[in-house]
Amino acid sequence: MQNTLNWQAENGELTLSGDLDRETLLPFWNARQQILTSDIHTINVAQLVRVDSAGLAMLVHILDEVSQRPQQFKLAGVTEKLQTLTALYNLQQIIQPYLVSTPDVV
């Protein structure tokens, strides 16, 4: 069974699910201009099962592209695995400004 990357846009949020890796990202990459319209202000990655270095590179590039927009752009649902991959490539300072902060648990 081949891994896939799926995406769905709703209420200003683009949700990615499945695998974001070098094998699956090309269709999304090619369609990103049509997918990431000006009404999209958040990418939710909580439903991604797997992200490799190519997938992380694509996310960083997308964040760079949307940083030119007038409205604030957010990255939500970053998992511990994705945080670890970000740290391994020393990209925390690039990703951090986009992260949705989660409220402290009381």
Q: Note whether residue 66 is domain-resident.
A: yes
pLDDT tens, residue by residue, 29-60: 999 999 999 999 999 999 999 999 999 999 99
Domain count across the chain: 1
Q: Note whether residue 32 is domain-resident.
A: yes
Q: Note whether residue 106 is domain-resident.
A: no
Predicted TM-score (pTM) of the model is 0.89
Q: 38 lies in which domain range?
A: 5-98
Distance CA 90, CA 83 (A): 10
CATH of residue 23: 3.30.750.24
pLDDT category, 71, cuts 50, 70, 90? confident
